[in-house]
Amino acid sequence: MTAEIVLQVFRFGFLLLLWLFVFAAFRVVRADLLGGRTGRVSSVPPRAQAGKKRGGRGPKNLLVTAGPLSGTKITLGEQAILIGRADDSTLVLTDDFASSRHARLTNRGGQWYVEDLGSTNGTYLDQQRVQGPLLVAPGQPIRIGQTVLELRS
Amino acid sequence: MAAPAAGPGTDPRQGAPGVTTPPKRRGTELLMLGFAVLITLAAQTIVDITVTGSPSPEIATFGAWFTGLWLVAHLVVRKVAPYADPLLLPCVAVLTGLGLSMIHRLDIAANALGESVSAREDAPTQLLWATVGMVLFVAVLLVVRDHRALSRLAYTIGLVGLVLLAIPAVLPSALSEVNGAKIWIRVAGFSIQPGEFAKICLVIFFAAYLVDKRDVLALASRRVLGLEVPRARDLGPVLVAWGVSILVLVFERDLGSSLLLFGIFVVMLYVATERASWLLIGVLLFAAGGTVAYQLFGHVRVRVDTWLDPFAYYPDGGGYQVVQSLFGLGTGGLFGAGLGGGRPDQVPVAKSDFIAAALGEELGLFGLVAIVVLYLVLVERGLRTSLVVRDGFGKLLAAGLAFGVAWQVFVVLGGVTGLLPLTGLTTPFVAYGGSSLVANFGLVALLVRISDAARRPAAPPAPPAPKLGEALTEVVKP
C-alpha cells in the first residue's frame, strides 16, 4: 500500500489541478471579452484617419433599438450595411415584414444615407417612407418591419 | 444542401491589407485540451496507485488513445470551424476524462470484490463510445457547414426526433425495458437510448418552428394583471409539447426525458418571445401534469415519496440509492476521500445514474463544485454564442442546446443530492452510457458550428464593393 503522505498529496494535488483548469478557463473567458476590445482598438487607426477627414463627428455604431434583434450593435466603417432577410446581409432579419434585400445604409463622406432596395413593406425614417437615398442623423429611428435602428456616435 | 457563397472555410477578409481579423484562438484551445488530457491522465494514475499500488500498464494505451481523440477533434475544428469557441472542447474533454477515470475506478472496485456479474471492464467500452462520439462530432462538423441549413430541414428532423422518441414505447418490453423504464432499443447485445438523440432533433425543430411563429406568439396577447397573456389558440404548441411529455411519461415511464423536453421547450418559447407569461404557463402546466401523474402512476408516486423522505424507505425500498448516495457525499466532505480512497461502489448503478455521487465522495465538495463550474463554463459559452450569432435560428438553437445541458445537469445533480426526485437522466459527458455520450458529442458539434458562425467576421455583401479590402464592419454584441 502506498504511504499515507503520498495519498494526501494526490488528494489535494488533484483538486488543485482541477481548479487550476477552471481558472485557466476563466482566464480564457476574460481574455475573450478583452480580446474583443483589443480587436476594436487595433481597428482604431483607420477609423481615426477617417475621423480626421470628417472631423471625427460621424456616427460610430448602428444600434438595433427594437425588434427581435434588439441590442445588436454593428460598428460602422466605410463599408455599406445591407439589411434584409438574405443570409449574406450585414444584419440578417427574421421578420415576415422584411424583404430579403430590404434596405442599405451607405457612407458618403462621413454621412450615412439610407436607401430602400425595393422592399415590399417599405423602410421608414422618422415616419417618412424612404423613396430615394435620405440622410440619416444620429438618433433618428429607421424602421424596417418590427425592427428599429438608430445611428449612434 | 448548397452552402452559401460565403460559407465556412472561406474567409473573404483573410489577408486583406489593413484589416484586423478577430483572433481565432485555436492555440488556446490546443493548450487547454493538453491541460484536460493531463488532468485525465493524472486522475487515472492516482486511481491506479491508490487502489493497486502501481500504475497499470494500460495507462499508456489509454493515454495515447484519449490524446489522439482530442487531437483529431482539434485538427478538424481548426480546418472547418476556425473561429469556434476555444473553451467548448476543453470543458468537454475534462468532463469526459473525469468520467472515464471514475468508471475505471469503479471497474477496479467491482472486480476486486468479485461482485461484478460478468467481470467486464466498462471503462474501455466507454472509451470506445467516446470514439464513436468523436466520429459523430467530426461528421456533424463536416456535413453541416452552415447551421442555417438545418432550419430548412427542420420539419423532417422534428419528425425523426418524434419517431426516435416513440420507438421504445412501441417495441415489446423485452426489447425496450431496463429497470422499469421503457427507453431502450436492445439489439444484438447493444443498448441504445434513442431519446438522447431525439432531444437534439427536437431542439433543432423547436428553434426553427419558434423563429417562424414567434411574431404571432409574442405580439398577439392581452394584458391581464400586468402580464402579457397569449390568446387561447396560440397555446397550441405548448400544449402539444406538454402532451408529448406526458405520453413519454405514461408509455416509457421516463420521468427524466419528460421533464427535460418540456423544460427545454418552455424556455425556448420564453427566449423566442421574451414573454415571461410563457414561463408561468409552463410551470402551471407542469404542476397540473405532475399532480395528475402522482395520483395515477405508481412509479411517479414511488419517486416522489422516496424524495420527500428517503430514510423511510431505507435500507429496503426505493430510498436505498439516494440514501447511499447521501452517505457517500457526506463521507466525502469538503475535500473528498481522494481518488480511489472512498467506497463509491456502495451506491447502486454508480457508473451511470449516480456517477456524480461517486465523484462527490472521492473529490469532495470542492471537486464536485469544480465539475459544476466546468458545466457552467460550457453553458456560458453556449449562451454567449447565442447572444453573438446574427441569425434568429442560430440564437434559438444555441440557447436551447446550452439550456438543455444546464437543465439536465441540474435535474441529475438535484436527484443525486436529494433536492429533486430521481429521474434517471445521465450526467452529460461524465456518466457511463453510450447513447448519452455520443448524442452529447453531436450536441457539442452543433454548438461549435454555431459559435464559429458567431465569431467569424461579418462577410461583406454579395455584390463586392470596390472598397472590399478596407472592410471594417464588425458586429459587437450588446
Q: Is residue A85 part of a domain?
A: yes
Domain identity same for A25 and A78: no
Q: Is residue A50 part of a domain?
A: no
pLDDT value at residue A96: 78
Domain identity same for A107 and A71: yes
Does residue B464 register a pLDDT over 50? no
Q: Is residue A125 part of a domain?
A: yes
Give how far A25 is from chain B: nearest CA, Å.
Answer: 7
Q: Is residue A41 part of a domain?
A: no
Domains held by chain A: number: 2
The whole domain housing B122 covers 26-455
Residue A34, chain B, CB below 8 Å: the answer is no
Does residue B4 register a pLDDT over 50? no
Q: What is the mean pLDDT of chain A?
A: 78
The whole domain housing A129 covers 59-150
A128 Cβ contact partners less than 8 Å away, ≥ 6 residues apart: A134
Q: Is residue B10 part of a domain?
A: no
pLDDT value at residue A45: 44
Give how far B218 is from chain A: nearest CA, Å.
Answer: 10
The span from the CA of B413 to the CA of B406, in Å, is 11
Q: Measured between CB atoms, which of B39, B339, B477 is closest to A21?
A: B39
Q: Is residue A44 part of a domain?
A: no
Domain identity same for A83 and A141: yes
pLDDT value at residue B10: 42
Interface A-B, measured as beta-carbon pairs within 8 A, has a size of 172
Domains held by chain B: number: 1
Residues of B in contact with A94 (CB under 8 A): 211, 391-393
Q: Is residue A49 part of a domain?
A: no
Residues of A in contact with B101 (CB under 8 A): none
pLDDT value at residue A119: 85
From the list A85, A91, A124, A102, the residue with the least C-alpha distance to B212 is A85
pLDDT value at residue B150: 92
Domain identity same for A124 and A68: yes
Confidence of residue B101 (pLDDT cuts 50, 70, 90): very high
With CA atoms as reference, the chain B residue closest to A145 would be B215
| Mean pLDDT computed over B144-154 | 90
Residue A7, chain B, CB below 8 Å: the answer is yes
Residue A100, chain B, CB below 8 Å: the answer is no
**What does chain B come to in residues?**
478
**Are the beta carbons of A82 and A30 closer than 8 angstroms?**
no
Residues forming beta bridges with residue A116, ordered by sequence position: A103
Coil, strand or helix at A135: strand
The span from the CA of B422 to the CA of B426, in Å, is 11
Domain identity same for A71 and A116: yes
pLDDT value at residue B164: 87
CATH code of the domain in which A83 resides: 2.60.200.20
B92 Cβ contact partners less than 8 Å away, ≥ 6 residues apart: B378, B429, B440, B441, B444
Domain identity same for A68 and A23: no
Burial of B460 (0-12, 13-18, 19+ CB in 10 A): buried
pLDDT by residue (tens digit) across A66-115? Answer: 887 777 777 787 778 888 888 778 888 877 788 888 888 888 877 888 88
Residues of A in contact with B42 (CB under 8 A): 14, 17
Residue where the block lists cell 444615407: A113
Q: Measured between CB atoms, which of B20, B39, B465 is closest to A18?
A: B39
pLDDT value at residue B158: 87
* Cα B184 to chain centroid, rounded: 18
Coil, strand or helix at A92: strand
Mutation test of the interface with chain A: which of B1, B13, B20, B385, choosing the one with the most A Cβ atoms within 10 A? B20
Cis peptide before A68 (omega within 30 of 0): no
pLDDT by residue (tens digit) across B84-99? Answer: 999 999 999 999 999 9
What ipTM was predicted for this assembly? Answer: 0.85
pLDDT by residue (tens digit) across B359-410? Answer: 999 999 999 999 999 999 999 999 999 988 888 899 999 999 999 999 999 9
In terms of C-beta distances under 8 Å and separation of at least 24 residues, what long-range contacts does B108-117 make, across chains too?
B108/B47, B108/B51, B108/B52, B108/B340, B109/B51, B109/B343, B109/B344, B109/B345, B110/B345, B112/B51, B113/B345, B115/B345
Q: Please judge whether B148 and A87 are an interchain contact, meaning their C-beta atoms are less than 8 angstroms apart.
A: yes
Orientation of helix B320-332 relative to helix B392-417, angle to 10°: 90
Residue A121, chain B, CB below 8 Å: the answer is no
Q: Is residue B143 part of a domain?
A: yes
From the list B250, B421, B192, the residue with the least C-alpha distance to B321 is B421
Domain identity same for A121 and A64: yes
Q: Is residue B354 part of a domain?
A: yes
Residue where the block lists cell 451511470: B352
Q: Is residue B156 part of a domain?
A: yes
Q: Is residue A39 part of a domain?
A: no
Coil, strand or helix at B48: helix
Poorest-confidence range of B171-185, B307-321, B391-405? B171-185
Amino acid at B109: A
Residues of B in contact with A82 (CB under 8 A): 461
Mutation test of the interface with chain A: which of B46, B380, B388, choosing the one with the most A Cβ atoms within 10 A? B46
Q: Please judge whether B467 and A79 are an interchain contact, meaning their C-beta atoms are less than 8 angstroms apart.
A: yes
Q: Is residue B148 part of a domain?
A: yes
Q: Measured between CB atoms, which of B42, B214, B476 is closest to A75?
A: B476
Residues of A in contact with B214 (CB under 8 A): 68
Poorest-confidence range of B29-43, B164-178, B455-469? B455-469
Domain identity same for A75 and A132: yes
Give how far A28 is from chain B: nearest CA, Å.
Answer: 8
**Are the beta carbons of B127 and B62 closer than 8 angstroms?**
yes
Poorest-confidence range of B216-225, B252-261, B382-391, B427-436? B216-225
Coil, strand or helix at A150: strand
Q: Is residue A45 part of a domain?
A: no
**Are the beta carbons of B182 and B254 closer than 8 angstroms?**
yes
**Are the beta carbons of B390 and A91 closer than 8 angstroms?**
yes
The DSSP secondary structure of B418-451, one letter per residue, reads: TSS-------TTTSS-HHHHHHHHHHHHHHHHHH
Q: Is residue B9 part of a domain?
A: no
Domain identity same for A27 and A71: no
Does residue B457 register a pLDDT over 80? no
pLDDT value at residue A77: 77
Domain identity same for A21 and A70: no
